[in-house]
Chains A and B, each alone.
Chain A
Amino acid sequence: MRELTYAQALREALTEEMERDPNILLMGEDIGVYGGVFKVTEGLMARFGEERVRETPISESGFIGAAVGLAMMGKHPMAELMFMDFAWVAADQIFNQACKMRQMSGGQVKVPLVIRTQQGGGRGNAAQHSQCLEAHFAHIPGIKIALPSTPSDAKGLLKQAFREQDPVVVIEHKLLYNTKGDVAEQMDPILFGKANIVRPGRDVTIISYSRTVLHCLEAATTLAAQGVDAEVIDLRTIMPLDMDTVLASIRKTNRAVVAHEAHRNAGFGAEIAARIMEQGFQHLDAPVERVGALDVPIAYSLPLESATLPSPDKIVAAARRAMRMEA
């Protein structure tokens, strides 16, 4: 084991996968000589050449569409979308094209395409560069969604993304790139649809993914000091969604909090809460609590942005409500 940053772990996954499969090629803005604005692809152009690491114009619709064509014809492209917020620029190619081709063609084509992107607030990037949009992807059938929270998961999930034969979006978080963690030298891909219990506990289940998992762990520490033993589940992928792990936990704790950084309204937490209600209603001792960003665009000014985004404190408060404890 050694410590790697999240960005290094992603780079290692890309390197290993590109060594393994000559059909993998990367494209995106500034990913070549510069190595990407978050430096994830640093050195890859020098190693794999300009054919396989392609710097694109600022044409998200164009190059993601081109990736769909490559994928249909036997390549395994990865398109880097610099900020999740730009997914809407490429929305047709992602949602009408990539997600639909297999089914529309009656299974004659497949689209093994990986989109890597990053999302989230906390840096003062304001409303057009801070959003979390995983629920938009989850709403459209035909694409798998991974949201790694640690360097090790980043490596394992990205490696798996290249083993999938369908479109996958790997959603990173801009504030995770410099976080460090142990990453095994020899690492198998992490299968999609297998949640990770990152902290076992008896009293309340806190379900999350991506950077918010770190907030949940902090919240769990605070809760422990208050006599509440929280179990924290990192879903890792939300499509597919591992409800078995969630339900098994709730059978034990009888209480649940769902936390993510995306807006609460119609966020993916609503889907999880609904499924818990459908599949585990009898195990619940309290309504499922949801924590997410307030339903307003994310402002630039620090106090406004901080108050808009979820925090460990808000997760603690939600867990206490689920425990029927005083606020």
Chain B
Amino acid sequence: MGLTTEQLKDAYGRMCLARAFERKCEELFMQGQVRGSLHMSIGQEASAAGTALALRDSDLLITNYRGHGHALAKGISPRAAMAEMLGRVTGCCKGKGGSMHWTDMSKGILPANAIVAGGLPTVVGAALAGKLDGLDRVAVVFFGDGAANQGATHEAMNLAAIWKVPAIFICENNLYSEMTPIGKTTTNKDLAERAAAYRMPATIVDANDVEAMHAAVSEAVTRARRGEGPTFIEAKTYRLVGHMIGDSQIYRSKDEVEEWRAQRDPIRLAGDKLIARGVTRAELDAISAGADATVADAAAFASASAFPDVSEIFVDVFEHNALN
């Protein structure tokens, strides 16, 4: 099931937004305005956009430290997201969470996680809650190939399977966990094999093809909404940048990166499809210029926002504020 041209343009726009947003973050990181570690998802945008297009606003998303693209595609406000990157009070977490913990409950975006595999058990419960309430709400969790080796991942997948919860486990296999290539951390050729252990339906998808990604997630969503339980999607992709800013990338060859960049850049691939369908280059440029403008607006908004007042430290710790 392909995307309509309008949908594909929409996906293209979401991918451009993610890319432009993260490039801006990189710039702000180099200026010392973004703190901590910055993990970009450049090269993996199709996985995010394809997924988001298959979901409703009310569906749930749990992502990780490499989740900017996921959350932007799911509709988080770019202004609030950029303000969060700068630690401002107008940020999506009031500046408390930063790059790795974006949250927007109004868009079904639960707190993103910085503990590898931390979100997998929680997605089971989040999905189960909807089922208990008689809703046809679906919950999606994104995690990496490296996260597939955590015990929590396996406990979560087994629970999801026995409880038949409407959860979708999207494993973004970008071939590396931080600086370690996948061949050193698993003997599986495909991580989708892991799902078989829990008798969970699984698919392998070329996640640099936004249409393929959308189709795979749509099928999983349909199954989940029908009450048929969880699905595992192995989204094969590649990050075109380091694990974090400052990563020397000595563990992979420049040629390998260049090949993915030149042949498999998901934004270019989607653009090529649109052109083949008769969309003009000028239209594409207008979409990406629109994304750039959104990011510029977000950055201006963020810089003009105030830092949280120090009294905010004691707020949001408990229902009633923390005592110190």
**Chain B residue, CB-CB nearest to A82:** B178
Complex contact A58–B149 (CB within 8 A): yes
Are the CB atoms of B186 and A57 closer together than 8 Å? Answer: yes
Which one of B11-19, B204-212, B305-313 is at the interface? B305-313
Decide: B149 and A126 in contact? CB cutoff 8 A. no
Residue B179 interfacial (CB < 8 Å): yes
Flag if B35 contacts A124 (CB, 8 Å).
yes
**B100 interfacial by beta-carbon distance below 8 Å:** yes
Taken residue by residue from 107 to 136, chain B's Cβ proximity to chain A (1 for < 8 Å, 0 otherwise) reads as 000000111111000000000000000000
B163 interface residue per 8 A CB criterion: no
Residue of B nearest to A50 (CB): B184
Question: Does B37 lie at the interface of the complex (its beta carbon under 8 Å from any beta carbon of A)?
Answer: yes
Beta-carbon contact of A34 and B250 below 8 Å: yes
Report B-chain residues with C-beta under 8 Å of the C-beta of A106. Answer: none
- Are B35 and A123 within 8 A (Cβ)? yes
Most buried by A among B113, B147, B178: B178
Binds B, one of A13-21, A151-159, A194-202, A303-311: A303-311
Write the chain A residue with the least CB distance to B114: A128
Q: Which of A21-46 contact B (CB under 8 A)?
A: 29-30, 32-34, 37
Q: Does B239 contact A (CB under 8 A)?
A: no
The chain B residue with its CB closest to the CB of A125 is B36
B5 within 8 A of A: no
Q: Once the chains bind, are B147 and A294 in contact (CB under 8 Å)?
A: no
Chain A residues in 8 Å Cβ range of B37 = 125, 129
Which chain A residues lie closer than 8 Å to B36 at the CB level? 123-126, 129, 300
B97 touches A126 (CB 8 A): yes
Alpha-carbon distance between A296 and B152 when the two chains are bound, in angstroms: 26
* CB interface residues, A 81-140, toward B, < 8 Å: 85-86, 89, 123-129
Given contacts A59-B150, A126-B101, contact A296 B324 (CB under 8 A): yes
- Is the C-beta of A61 less than 8 angstroms from some C-beta in chain B? yes
For B152, the chain A residues whose CB sits under 8 A away are: 89
Does any Cβ of B come within 8 Å of A244's Cβ? no
Scoring A34, A125, A126, A308 by chain B CB atoms within 10 A of each residue's CB, the highest score goes to: A126
B318: nearest residue on chain A (CB-CB)?
Answer: A296
Q: In the complex, which range does the number of interface residues on chain B fall in?
A: 35 or more
* B151 close to chain A: CB less than 8 A: yes
Give residues 276-310 of A contacting B (CB, 8 Å).
Answer: 294-297, 299-304, 307-308
Complex: how many Å from CA A295 to CA B321?
A: 11
Near A by CB (< 8 A), chain B positions 160-211 give: 177-180, 184-186
How far apart are the CA atoms of A291 and B14 in the complex, in Å? Answer: 47
Q: Contact: A294 with B324, CB < 8 Å?
A: yes
Whether the pair A301, B151 counts as a contact (CB closer than 8 A) is: no
A295 touching B324, Cβ below 8 Å: yes
Give 1 or 0 for each of A254-272: 1 = CB within 8 Å of chain B CB: 0000000000000000000
**Binary A-proximity of B242-257 (CB < 8 A = 1, otherwise 0):** 0000001011000000
Tell me if A301 and B96 are in contact (CB < 8 A). Answer: yes
A57 neighbours in B (Cβ, 8 Å): 146, 149, 177, 180, 184-186
Our count of residue pairs bridging A and B at CB distance below 8 angstroms stands at 135
* Chain B residues positioned under 8 Å from A58 (CB to CB): 116-117, 146-147, 149-150, 177, 185
Residue among A37, A62, A123 making CB contact with B151, cutoff 8 Å: A62
List chain B residues, Cβ under 8 A from A56: 185
Interface presence of A55 (CB below 8 A): yes
Residue among B35, B98, B313 with most chain A CB within 10 A: B313
Given contacts A89-B150, A294-B324, A295-B322, contact A126 B184 (CB under 8 A): no
**Would B151 and A61 count as touching, CB distance under 8 A?**
yes
Q: Which residues of A contact B251 (CB under 8 A)?
A: 33-34
CA distance A141 to B240 in the complex (A): 46
Q: Which residue of A lies closest to B177 (CB)?
A: A58
Q: Is the CB of A89 within 8 A of B115?
A: yes
Cβ B149 vs Cβ A59 within 8 A: yes
B101 nearest CB neighbor, chain A only? A126
CB-CB under 8 A from B179, the residues of chain A are 30, 33-34, 37
**Please, which residues of chain B bring their CB within 8 A of the CB of A308?**
313
Interface centre among A34, A129, A297, A304 (most CB of B within 10 A): A304
User: CB distance A126 to B178 under 8 Å?
Assistant: no
A301-B149 contact given A29-B178, A86-B115, A125-B36, CB 8 Å threshold: no
B266 at the interface (CB under 8 A from A): no
Q: B residues 219-276 with Cβ under 8 Å of A?
A: 248, 250-251
Residues B149 and A85 in contact, CB atoms below 8 Å apart: no
Q: How far is the CA of A302 from the CA of B322 in the complex (A)?
A: 20
Most buried by B among A62, A127, A300: A300
Given contacts A57-B146, A126-B98, A128-B114, contact A294 B180 (CB under 8 A): no
Q: Check if B137 is an interface residue, CB within 8 A of chain A.
A: no
Is A124 a contact of B87 with CB atoms below 8 Å?
Answer: yes
- Whether the Cβ atoms of A296 and B313 lie closer than 8 Å is yes
Smallest CB-CB separation from A61: which chain B residue? B151
Nearest chain A residue, comparing its CB with the CB of B323? A295
Question: How distant is the Cα of A304 from the Cα of B96 in the complex, in angstroms?
Answer: 8
Interface flag for B282 (CB, 8 Å): no
* A-B contact list, 14 entries, CB within 8 Å: A30-B178, A33-B250, A58-B185, A60-B150, A61-B151, A85-B115, A89-B152, A126-B36, A128-B114, A296-B314, A296-B322, A300-B99, A303-B308, A308-B313
Q: Which 8 A-B pairs have the closest CB atoms?
A: A124-B35, A300-B98, A301-B87, A301-B95, A57-B149, A57-B185, A34-B179, A124-B36
7 new A-B contacts at CB < 8 Å, known A126-B101, A300-B99: A29-B177, A29-B180, A126-B114, A128-B100, A295-B322, A296-B313, A307-B310
Residues of B within 8 A of A (CB): 35-37, 84, 87-88, 91, 93, 95-101, 113-118, 146-147, 149-152, 177-180, 184-186, 248, 250-251, 307-308, 310, 312-314, 317, 322, 324
